[in-house]
Amino acid sequence: MKFSYTLLKKLVPEIKNAKALERHLSLYAFEVDGVEGKTFDIKLPANRYGDAASHWGVAQEIAATMGVKFGEQRAIATLLGKQVATTGKQPLKVTVEDKELCPRYIGAYCENVKVGESPKWIKDVLGECGMRPINNVVDIMNYVMLETGQPLHAFDYDKLQGGSLVVRCAKDGEKITTLDDQHVSLTPDMLVIADAKHPLAIAGIKGGKLAEVDKHTKRIVIEAANFDAVSIYKTSRAVNILTDASARFSRTLSPELATLGAIRAKMLLQEIMGMTQKGAVDIYPKKQAKRMVKFELAKCNAFLGTQFDAKTVRTYFELLGFVIAPIDKKMPVSMGMFLVTVPPLRTDIEHPHDLYEEVVRLHGFGNLRSSAPHIHLVPSGFEDEIILKDKIRKELVSLGVDEVYNHSFVGEHFGAHDADIRKELVELENPISKEYVFMRPTLAAGLHENVASNSRYFDAVAAFEIGRVFAKYNKDVKENNMFGVVLAGKGKEQFFELKGLLRELFERIGLHDVAFVEDKEREPRFAGPYVNEREMLCIESAGEHVGYMAKMKNAPAKWHGSIAELDMAALTKLIVAEHEYLPLSKYPSIVRDLSILVSVDARVGDIMQDIQHVDMNLIEDVDLIDEYENEKLDRKRSLTFRIIFQSADRTLTDAEVNEDMERIAKVLHKKFSAEVR
């Protein structure tokens, strides 16, 4: 944005020269893109257009960073506190039909207008800012915008149909010819300023020819308004017209700024041409609330790593136009805890951290003392999960499974069958469509959709995803990293294929003690619409629940599939524990082999788990070393387990081991009707 060095120097006489100003602005306030003659091209942050897209605003920044008081600061505060609207009969009628798109509209009716050439000092400033002087009325509107940041427009009152202005949306098929002779077709989503018959201006963007101020103008209406930033941005792009006004309005201005612009324009018009204001309408239904932010010096210093005192911080705030007040009579400002009233034009200040930024900015980032950071060393954890994710990806790809990335959202239909589940979903504040209303609580939804969408092109699908899921627990949002995998195909059952795949994966990533068990109490909370809870196994390791695997529901015609979903945090914890160092026992181990005859329906994992639980202190390991099935065994099979006994504090005797072997035989006979061979 272009600024006049002449006007900045007039507002802040302490400025030494243009080169010094360029360096000072870049160090303490805003980046200067370039300087050409007396024109400064300053790069403003988008959130600072409310106060700094003006010479008064930039001058205040310059003065504050130089440690001097801005001469116009009190005058600005006084103008902002004045009432614009006049009482009595109004010669101008203003109607605002959409108060959301136009939160404030000031229309000031003025007489004794003498259109002519502008004074040299106004034309000089306009020229330095890249604007072409036209006449004193238009030039004053532009000058006041440069000075205050409030875009203004002047209508010729005698050209208004019915002496009224209406702020409304354009009618379908309406057209307007702008001041620079562009012919624009309007649509109903565009805001316009109209009289009783025709649109006169595209609100916040460009005026039209119908009510143009010319050399015959005797009476004018000054417009100072506030418009919705999104509406102005969209309209400006739609009509392909970018102006100084649209650049400001599309970045959110304070409605209070309209007061400043209207009064300042009136003052200059009276001073330069002796104009008389006969009435003013101010439609401002929802006034901007006063913003107060609590400031705590101790938290500020802790956050910034500084040692500012209360006096220094207060000085910085007051130089910027903030008002300081004690929280109560018992706590003076000198204690470092006080209330800061934010100037109405500073729309960027919302949080104490914003105040911290102002403090350190005025102090100067380059003036901060360098110090080595103090941090706490934490044990490895997050890195272990990253390593595990990479390992799972590598192994599954080598096993022929494709990785997929699905949306992190689910549609409005999710959980409609269960009100309790619906309450636990994390809803988006502003969803982009009905298909993306909630954060996903399970990976099963996306994997199920992958099968459905790919079944038209392939006879089999093998896919996995590692991603985050979200759900509410006791009103807090919990975020978990999960690993999901799906195997599906036409005409072939995939349940045992998936189980085998998982076993192979667990072996490769170093998780050896895994059991697949039935547990009806651990049904997947959010995957119900996608998997069959009746044909599901829970996946456990070291007595801890890791996840589940189950057959798919609602698979494509003639397709069968199974889905597994596992908790990455639980997997990481178990695998890291599996690799932890344990010193070798000083005492010898005793190895016994146990052969049993059991039903083919008995699960090997359950048998191994029950053997281990007979004596957790002495049974070091249990492995299946042989399996034999034959039709002559009448639906039974022979299993041989190798059991290793070892103590960390003594040499075991045969009597102790024999006692445990007898207990094992009794447990297996009771639970599985096992016969020891």
Concatenated DSSP letters of 625-656: EEEEE-GGGSSEEEEEEEEEE--SSSPPPHHH
Asked whether the predicted pLDDT for residue 65 surpasses 60, the reply is yes
Confidence of residue 417 (pLDDT cuts 50, 70, 90): confident
CATH number for the domain including 485?
3.30.930.10
CATH number for the domain including 336?
3.30.56.10
Point out the least confidently predicted range of 39-53, 339-353, 505-519.
Answer: 505-519
Does residue 141 sit in the same domain as residue 40? no
Point out the least confidently predicted range of 85-89, 245-249, 547-551.
Answer: 85-89
Burial label, 566 (beta-carbon count in 10 A; 0-12, 13-18, 19+): buried
Question: Does the annotation place 593 within a ligand binding site?
Answer: no
Of 564, 558, 563, the residue nearest 455 (C-alpha): 558
- DSSP-assigned letters across all residues of 97-153: S-TTT-SEEEEEEEE-----PPPHHHHHHHHHTT-----HHHHHHHHHHHHHS--EE
Does residue 312 sit in the same domain as residue 427? no
Confidence of residue 29 (pLDDT cuts 50, 70, 90): confident
CATH number for the domain including 670?
3.30.70.380
For residue 195, tell me if it sits in a domain.
yes
Q: Which residues contact 259 (CB under 8 A, 6 or more apart)?
A: 79, 80, 82, 84, 106, 224
Pick the last residue of a domain from 516, 550, 578.
Answer: 578
For residue 459, tell me if it sits in a domain.
yes
Confidence of residue 366 (pLDDT cuts 50, 70, 90): confident
For residue 409, tell me if it sits in a domain.
yes
Number of domains in the chain: 5
Distance CA 124, CA 479 (A): 60
Confidence of residue 381 (pLDDT cuts 50, 70, 90): low
Report the percentage of the chain scoring pLDDT > 90.
70
For residue 83, tell me if it sits in a domain.
no
Distance CA 363, CA 371 (A): 17
Distance of CA 246 to the CA centre of its chain: 26
For residues 174-192, average pLDDT: 94
Distance CA 621, CA 148 (A): 81
Alpha helices by DSSP H, listed for 207-309, are 229-239, 244-249, 257-273, 297-304
- Amino acid 203: pLDDT: 95
Question: Does the annotation place 357 within a ligand binding site?
Answer: yes
Q: What angle, rounded to 10 degrees, do the helices at 136-148 and 120-128 form?
A: 60
Asked whether the predicted pLDDT for residue 382 surpasses 60, the reply is no
Tokens of 34: 């370039």
For residue 371, tell me if it sits in a domain.
no
Question: Does the annotation place 465 within a ligand binding site?
Answer: no
For residue 80, tell me if it sits in a domain.
no
Distance CA 288, CA 256 (A): 7
Confidence of residue 235 (pLDDT cuts 50, 70, 90): very high
For residue 374, tell me if it sits in a domain.
no
Pick the last residue of a domain from 320, 337, 366.
Answer: 366
Distance CA 435, CA 437 (A): 6
Q: What angle, rounded to 10 degrees, do the helices at 257-273 and 73-80 form?
A: 110
For residue 148, tell me if it sits in a domain.
yes
- Amino acid 582: pLDDT: 65
Confidence of residue 126 (pLDDT cuts 50, 70, 90): very high
Of 526, 522, 524, 520, the residue nearest 544 (C-alpha): 522
Point out the least confidently predicted range of 189-203, 449-463, 570-584, 639-653.
Answer: 570-584
Does residue 296 sit in the same domain as residue 261? no
For residues 226-245, average pLDDT: 95
The CA distances from residue 554 to 24, 418, 491, 541, in Å, are 68, 18, 14, 30
Asked whether the predicted pLDDT for residue 270 surpasses 80, the reply is yes
Does residue 431 sit in the same domain as residue 524? yes
Please give the DSSP secondary-structure letter assigned to residue 46: G
For residues 115-134, average pLDDT: 94
Instruction: Find the angle CA(223)-CA(226)-CA(227) to the nearest 5 degrees.
Output: 115
Confidence of residue 461 (pLDDT cuts 50, 70, 90): very high
Does residue 142 sit in the same domain as residue 277? yes
Does residue 275 sit in the same domain as residue 304? no
- Amino acid 620: pLDDT: 87
- Amino acid 421: pLDDT: 85
Question: Phi then psi for 621, rounded to 5 degrees?
Answer: -160, 150
- Amino acid 376: pLDDT: 67
For residues 471-484, average pLDDT: 89
- DSSP-assigned letters across all residues of 581-605: --PPPSS--EEEEEEEEEETTS-HH
- Amino acid 63: pLDDT: 93
Burial label, 330 (beta-carbon count in 10 A; 0-12, 13-18, 19+): exposed
| pLDDT tens by residue, 543-601 | 888 999 999 998 999 999 999 999 999 998 888 655 555 678 889 999 999 999 999 88
Asked whether the predicted pLDDT for residue 380 surpasses 80, the reply is no
Does residue 181 sit in the same domain as residue 242? yes
Report the percentage of the chain scoring pLDDT > 70.
98
- Amino acid 577: pLDDT: 57
Does residue 299 sit in the same domain as residue 277? no
The CA distances from residue 299 to 49, 316, 352, 631, 647, in Å, are 28, 17, 9, 78, 55
Does residue 191 sit in the same domain as residue 259? yes
Distance CA 668, CA 653 (A): 23
Distance CA 570, CA 566 (A): 8
Q: Are 190 and 228 in contact (CB under 8 A)?
A: no
| pLDDT tens by residue, 392-409 | 999 999 999 999 999 999
Of 154, 80, 112, the residue nearest 272 (C-alpha): 112
Task: Domain of residue 27: give its range.
Answer: 2-71
Question: Does the annotation place 354 within a ligand binding site?
Answer: yes
Q: Would the CA dihedral through 29, 30, 31, 37 be positive or negative?
A: negative
Of 570, 237, 535, the residue nearest 385 (C-alpha): 570
Does residue 273 sit in the same domain as residue 298? no
Does residue 429 sit in the same domain as residue 345? no
Confidence of residue 377 (pLDDT cuts 50, 70, 90): low
- Amino acid 432: pLDDT: 87
Distance CA 380, CA 301 (A): 30
Asked whether the predicted pLDDT for residue 260 surpasses 70, the reply is yes
Tokens of 464: 């996995």
Does residue 559 sit in the same domain as residue 608? no
Strand partners, 296: 337
| pLDDT tens by residue, 189-206 | 999 999 999 999 999 999
Side chain identity, residue 201: A
For residues 507-523, average pLDDT: 83
**Mean pLDDT taken over the chain:** 90
Q: Are 517 and 477 in contact (CB under 8 A)?
A: no
Confidence of residue 474 (pLDDT cuts 50, 70, 90): confident
Pick the last residue of a domain from 331, 366, 401.
Answer: 366
Radius of gyration of the chain (CA): 38
The CA distances from residue 588 to 254, 436, 481, 612, 643, in Å, are 82, 61, 42, 19, 14
For residues 63-82, average pLDDT: 87
Q: Which residues contact 537 (CB under 8 A, 6 or more apart)?
A: 499, 516, 517, 518, 548, 549, 550
